[in-house]
Structure formats: C-alpha cells, structure tokens
Structure 1
Amino acid sequence: MHGKKILITGGTGQAARPVAEALAAGNEVWCLGRFGTPGVEDELREAGITTYRWDMGEDTLESLPDDFTHVMHSAVHRGYDGDFDTAIEVNSVAVGRLMTHCRKAESFLHVSTGAFYKRQSLDHRYKETDPLDGVADWLPTYPVAKIAAEGTARAYARTLGLPTTIARLNISYGPASYGGVPVMYFKQMLAGEPIPVPVEGQNWASLIHTDDLVHQVPLLWGIATTPATVVNWGGDEPVGMTDCARYMSELTGVEAKFVASEVTRETYAFDSTKRRELIGDCTVEWHEGIRRTLEVHFPEVLGKGVPA
C-alpha cells in the first residue's frame, strides 16, 4: 500500500502501533490517541507519523482533516472501573463520530474482539455465526462495550454507505508494545507467580503475530463492504495457553507454575476458514513466533532452557 492517507486510532497499542509504523514507510499516516506513556508520541513522530490528541470519551474531531482514504479504529475504553454505562457510551459514540467524520474514506476497519462469543467448550473453534453473550468474568465491561461498538459500526456502515470490515481480533503478540498475553504470562513466570488455569482442560486461543497483523490490515481494508464484512481475525492454528507457557519454560528454563481457578483470563480459539478464504493464510507459526517474541523482550533469558 502506497500513497494513501491513513488514520489509525489506538496507535500506541499492541496491534495498531506496528501497523502504523509499517505503513508510514509509503503513506501519510496519522495516529489518534491520548499518548499517556511518556515519550511514545515522540517515537511515533520519529517514525514519520503525524499525531493528533484525541480522548475518545470527551473530544470531538472538528479540527482533524476528513480526507483519509483508509481508517483503522483500534482504540478502546475497556472499563476497568466496572462502569458498564460509561464503557458503552464512550465506545459507541467514538465509533459514530469517527465513521461520520471519515465518511469519504475508501474503507473503514473496525477492530472488534472474539471475547464476546458465548462460551462453549474450552477447545471449541468459534465461527462468526456462533452466538454471543458478552460475559467475561475477568473484565465484565469489556465484551459488552465491544458488542455495542460493533453494532454502531454496522449501523454507520449502512447509513453512511461507508465500506467497512469488522475484524474480531484474537490475541495479538510479538515484538511490539508490551508483547501480548504470552509476555504477560512469562512475566508472571519470572516473578514465580502461578498462572490461573481452568479446573479442567486449558484455555485455547488463535494467537496472531505482529508480522501477520501488519500484512493483513491492507487486505482487510480490501474486503470492506456495505453492509459490513464481519470476520474473525486470528492465527490459523489453535494454541493451548497452558501449552504455550510450558513451551516458554522449555525455551528459557523458567518454571511455569499453574493454579486451578474458576476465574481465568479466558481466551477463544477461532475457526479461521472465512478469513483464510477472504485474505489468505498467516505466515508465522506460533512456536517460531513465541521464540522471536522472547528474543526481543527477554534477550538475557532466552537460550538458558532446553532447545525445542
């Protein structure tokens, strides 16, 4: 993708930042956000990205240009305080404002989540047509707010005639930002803290590496339609998260401790058939991706374990 004017929200995050930095090489890229982490705004600017301060819960977009060709909306108000009403209000209104402001765009990518599927068996591979319920004990407001935001994206895609893709993101991981859930788990391992796991079985996920995120965003823009295209966005192969922690232990020699719990950070494995038919396969196999991620985030630790 070259010569486009691209708008990305949540540009400091695990998923969106590497996309923004990669696209800045051949396009005019703008990132919207609060930029609360010291130095992060300067880092984006050094990468050739134009920054624009936007608190999605309070600010309008009146002074922002409206001639963007492509938009990726990745910012989210998670609602850690448990306030459902505010979480729904902030996320839904932000989507409406952004899509209205950028109604002239060629395509709009709304980053949704798979965390709102109705829980079935732990190893069930969820399809886009599976039922939703928005229940997540580990962060109750998050899936409810994401359902509301997805509904807004669907409505505005139709009313504005704005070609839209709604991509339900699984767990992204890799060298960028904080590294994703696998890095969170490994930090717990380093601290000697047990990882909560289900009483029976293990949580499964469809991990997707930074490289595949970067490659697939232009492809997701390319399949945008009115009404919106809805697609699961995750890796090609389901990964057991307990297996993932054990693999990191094999690589590094750092013990992985587990504690059975009724409440865990639930993850979901996707059926990737629709995504693969629309935009093709992923390129990074998860063992390779985890190794590469640890090499960047923990270079002093990797290599002390038993080679996999």
Structure 2
Amino acid sequence: MALNPVDISGSRVLLAGPGGQVAAPIVEALAPICELTAVARFSDEAQRQRLQALGVHTVRGDLADHRSLRDCPADVDYVLNLAVVKSGDFNYDMRANAEGIGNLMAHCRSAKAVLHFSSTAVYEYAGHEPRSEDAPLGDNHRAMFPTYSLSKIAAESVCRFAARQYDIPTTIARLSVPYGNNGGWPFFHLLMMKEGMPIDVHPESPNYYNLLHSSDYIDKLPYLLAAADSDVCTLNFGGSEAVSIEQWCRYLGEMCGLEPSFRDNPQAFGSLQIDTEKMHSVIGETQKDWRQGLREMVQQLAPELIRD
C-alpha cells in the first residue's frame, strides 16, 4: 500500500535545474501553491524572467561551486534536484552533477526531505530483463552522452553520503522516459518520422521503456517526498505499463498518417524496462495511459499532423 503523500502547499521549496523539459511542468504546478525558489546558472535571462513572471524566486548559482549557493535560502522545507549537465567534459560534469548534489544538500541540511532525480541510465544493459533497484549499474549511455551515466551513478553516491552525513531524509528517483505536452523523446521520434528520417533502434528489439507522463510525475511528487529517509529510498520511476519505441512510433504513425522507418544500430540505447514492484508498493501505480498521453502531446505541439 502506497504511503500517504506530504502536503506541499504553503511549503518552502528549492528547485535546482528549472530549465529542463522535466522541470518545466513541475515549476508550473508548484509556483501557485508554494514559496518556490529556483537556482540555476541562468545563462538565458529570458528564462529567468519567465520564471519570475510565474512568481518564482530565482537565484543565480552553479551547483559545481558551493560558494555560489550562498544566496539560496537554506531554511527550506523541501529540495528538488533536477539539475543535470551533459557538456562532455568529465571533470566539469562530475563536479556539477556529483559534487553538485552534495553542495546543495550541505547548504540545505535542515530540509524535511530531498528528492534527487536520477535516471535508469545508471543500469547496465541487460536485454529485456526488467531492471530492479538492485540490478548491476553500468555505463549505459556512453555512445551518445559520454559523461551521463557515470555522472548519474556518482551523483547517487554523493547523495547517499550527504543524506547519512547530515541526517537528511532523501529519495532518489530513477526516471525512465519522461514526456508530456511540452515534448520528450517520443516527440523527437515523431519529428523524425515527419522528415522521413530513420529511427535508430537496438537490434535486440523490441526496445522497452516506461513512458512517464508529466501529470503522473507531478502527482507522485508528494509520495516521493513522503518516502524520503536518511538511509535513502531509491526507486525506479516510470509509467506502470512498459511500451517499446517500436510501439509508440507505430502508434504516432497511425495517428499522423506516417510510416516509421527503423534502423538497427548496436550503439543505440537498448531496452531499459524497469521493475515496478517497489515503486508500486511505495508510491502506487501511475494513471495516464501512454496512448492518451501521446495523443495529448501531439494535440498540443503539432495538431496539424493528426489524421485520424
């Protein structure tokens, strides 16, 4: 039976990494009900102004440099870390991603809970075997993002150290494939289909993932925070139903009158289906059917493509 969710409304929340695709719906959901502060480097001033227009407090800071966090509020109730750096520079990416979460937690050590977003990219490739939280880790995404998997693994280790060192209740959520009305991996596939481009897939098909709609990850935030513990609760976090790249591309193709073309590539990301048993027992099942979620995404971003 899932935990009782925490009540986030009226709380003080510090969110790191507000500029990403996953973070944007969370910011929009929390800004009206929380005292929300967003920390980022904000190289794009327009992005900072958009956040401020939503009522979000903004702080310029680089998680790689603990000194730059001094303007962040330390006495917050909850910390959400969605920051990720994929520059390809191992020294900087390790510092920003791994040391970064340590710097953030050291600064906010009185928080009621920390929610650190990791990735299923931490798992070693194992064909169609669903990955449980204790499955072997590996350098899964090296072919496309050289620093990504290793940085995520290192960040999890630093996160656990900080949680135990400072006695901070913490949850690590390993995201599968997030998407929503602001896009995601399936939308890139749709654009490739529109342009007649082949979609690279691993030869050991079908390639299964667990699409996670933004409405579901927003709904589960209070549960993930409720699961936080200083011994660290590590959870897979994806949609309850597994679906393959091949399936969602064919569904998008049927919706839009397009025919997907798949190209076998051993360097493409292979199947990364998650074992959902622990997730379901702690935070419950997700609600959005992947077909409905994809249809809503296309209706929002490219309604002119819909043919059925």
Q: TM-score, normalised by structure 2?
A: 0.93
- The amino acid across from 1:135 in the alignment is N
- Residue 162 (structure 1) aligns with: 168
- The amino acid across from 1:92 in the alignment is A
Check whether the contact 1:5–1:70 (CA below 8 A) recurs between aligned residues. Answer: yes
CA displacement at 1:212 relative to structure 2:
0.5
- The amino acid across from 1:197 in the alignment is V
Check whether the contact 1:220–1:279 (CA below 8 A) recurs between aligned residues. Answer: yes
Alignment of 1:224-303 (within 5 A): 224-302=228-306
- Residue 127 (structure 1) aligns with: 132
Check whether the contact 1:216–1:279 (CA below 8 A) recurs between aligned residues. Answer: yes
Q: Among the aligned pairs, what percent are the same residue?
A: 33
Q: Return the alpha-carbon distance in structure 1 between the equivalents of residues 63 and 110 of structure 2.
A: 20
Distance 1:135 1:97, change over 3 A: same
- Residue 72 (structure 2) aligns with: 64
CA RMSD after TM alignment:
1.5
Spell out, residue by residue over 1:52-94, the C-alpha distance to the aligned partner (whole angstroms, 9 max, x if none): 1223334621122111100100101123x3x323322221221
Q: TM-score, normalised by structure 1?
A: 0.93
- Structure 1 residue corresponding to 2:12, chosen from 5, 16, 36: 5
CA displacement at 1:23 relative to structure 2:
1.2
Alignment of 1:108-127 (within 5 A): 108-121=114-127, 123-127=128-132
- Please state whether the residue corresponding to 1:218 is helix, strand or coil: helix
- Please state whether the residue corresponding to 1:125 is helix, strand or coil: coil
- The amino acid across from 1:132 in the alignment is L
- Residue 14 (structure 1) aligns with: 21
CA displacement at 1:201 relative to structure 2:
1.4
- Please state whether the residue corresponding to 1:199 is helix, strand or coil: coil
- Residue 215 (structure 1) aligns with: 219
CA displacement at 1:146 relative to structure 2:
0.5
Check whether the contact 1:112–1:169 (CA below 8 A) recurs between aligned residues. Answer: yes
- The amino acid across from 1:106 in the alignment is K
Alignment of 1:53-92 (within 5 A): 53-58=60-65, 60-79=68-87, 81=88, 83-92=89-98
1:31 aligns with 2:35: no
- Residue 110 (structure 2) aligns with: 104
- Residue 53 (structure 2) aligns with: 46
- The amino acid across from 1:47 in the alignment is L
CA displacement at 1:169 relative to structure 2:
0.8
Check whether the contact 1:138–1:266 (CA below 8 A) recurs between aligned residues. Answer: no
Check whether the contact 1:207–1:286 (CA below 8 A) recurs between aligned residues. Answer: yes
- Structure 1 unmatched runs, 5+: none
- The amino acid across from 2:261 in the alignment is K
Check whether the contact 2:140–2:149 (CA below 8 A) recurs between aligned residues. Answer: yes
Q: Return the alpha-carbon distance in structure 1 between the equivalents of residues 100 and 246 of structure 2.
A: 36
Spell out, residue by residue over 1:227-247, the C-alpha distance to the aligned partner (whole angstroms, 9 max, x if none): 111000111011111111111
Distance 1:272 1:265, change over 3 A: same
- Structure 2 unmatched runs, 5+: 1-7
| Structure 1 segments of 4+ aligned residues over 4 angstroms from their partners | none
Alignment of 1:194-213 (within 5 A): 194-213=198-217
Q: Return the alpha-carbon distance in structure 2 between the equivalents of residues 157 and 232 of structure 1.
A: 19
CA displacement at 1:182 relative to structure 2:
0.5
CA displacement at 1:11 relative to structure 2:
1.1
